[in-house]
Amino acid sequence: MVRWTAGAIAALAMAGAAQAAGPGYHVVDKIPGPDGGWDYLRIDAAHNRILIPRGVAVTAIDLATKKATVGLVPGGRQHVALPVDDSRQMLVTNGATDSAIFADAITGATIASVPTGKGPDDAAVDPKSGLAFVMGHLAGDVTLIDVKTHKVVGTIAVGGTLEEGVADGAGRAFVNVENKNEIAVLDIAGRKVTAHWPLTGCDGPTGLAYDRQDKLLIAACDGATALVSATSGKVLQTLPTGKGADGVAYDAKRHLAFVPAGRDGTLSVIAFSKGEGRIAETVTTQRGARTIAVDERTGRIYLPTAEYVAPAGGGRPTTVPGTFQILVVGP
C-alpha cells in the first residue's frame, strides 16, 4: 500500500506514458478503461480477461476484444478479485464490510459473504490444501477459507500490516509484513506462524512473488527488491529497483520477474540464472503504474494507471477523468 509524498504528488502531476528504447521490453499497447481506483490486478486465463478491483465494483477487461465489463461484483474498498474454484468463482476482498465475497465468475452474482479480519487486502490460494488465505492488512491476521463451502476454517495471527501473500505449493505460505520489514512464514495445516524473516535493506515490502524453480521469494520494497531463500529465510541479494512499488509479478515460463515503480514510472525486469537475479532492463512506463499482472501464456505484462493532479490545498492526488488505462508491456 503506497503512501504518496509531496514530491510524488508533484511528479504525478506531470506524468506521461513513454516507450522504452531498444529491442527489449516496452509499452506495446494501451487499453482504455472506465474511471475508478484500483489495486491488485489478476489474470483470469480461463476467460481470457483481466480482473480489476475498482473500489466499488470489479471491472473485467477482455484481452481479445479489449471490451470492459463494469460493475461485475459490487462492494466497497475492494483490493483483489481472484479466480478460484477452477475459475468458476471470484473471491473479492471487501474492506467496507471486512469480508471476502464469493461471486459467480460470469454473472458476478454473489454466492457467499465470508467474514475476514479488518481491512482484507490481498488473497491467494494454497495449492496443497485448496484453501484461500486472505491477508488482513489492518487486523494483522490471515483468514483461511474453504472455497467450496465458503466457511472460515482457521485464522492465523501474524501481527503488523499485511500486504501480498504467496504459497509454495507444499503447505507453506509467505506474507509481506509492510511495517516490520519482514516476511512471515505460515504453516497452513498447523494454522500457525513458524518464522519471521527480516528483510534487511528492504523497506516497506509490498509485492511478493515465488520462484519455485530456485525456491526464491521476490519481495518488492521501496527502491529495492530482495531475493530471499524460501528455505533459510536469508536475503541472498538486494537489487536496486524504482520507488513506489506496490506489486511484483513472476513469469515462471521465461524465468523473469517484473517490479513496477509507481513514483518513478519504471518497470524493472529481473532475469534469473542459477539462482541469481540481475536487472536485465529498466522499462519506462508511466508514473502511477504501481500494481501488475503477467500473462504467462503470452509473456505480456499489464499495468493499470491514470494521470494524476494534486489538489490545490494539498493532500492525496486524484486521477484525471478519462485517463485510466492499462499499459501493456512486451518484448
Whole-Å CA distances, 27 to 90, 166, 330: 29, 27, 7
Tell me the mean pLDDT in the region 112-123: 98
Distance set, CA 193 to CA 17, 76, 221 (Å) = 42, 30, 22
State the pLDDT at residue 11. 45
Q: List residues bridging with 136 in a β-sheet.
A: 120
User: Lowest mean pLDDT: which of 23-27, 49-53, 109-113?
Assistant: 23-27
Q: Quick one: average pLDDT of 182-187?
A: 98
Q: What is the pLDDT of residue 13?
A: 41
Q: Is 103 helix (H, G, I), strand (E, B) or coil?
A: strand
Measured in degrees and rounded to the nearest 5, phi and psi for residue 64 equal -85, -45
Q: Which of 182, 239, 177, 174 is nearest to 212 (CA)?
A: 174
CA–CA dist 73, 59 (Å, integer): 8
pLDDT of residue 18: 37
Q: Provide the edge-to-edge strand list for the sheet that holds 224-229.
A: 208-211, 216-220, 224-229, 235-240
Q: From its phi and psi, is residue 119 left (phi > 0), alpha (psi between -120 and 50) or beta?
A: left
Which spans in the chain are helix H?
Answer: 6-13
pLDDT score of 197 more than 50: yes
The length of the chain, given as a count of residues: 331
Give this prediction's pTM: 0.92
Find the mean pLDDT for residues 158-171: 98
Give the Cα separation of 1 and 232 in Å (integer). 27
- The SS3 of residue 75 is coil
Helix (H, G, I), strand (E, B) or coil at 275: coil
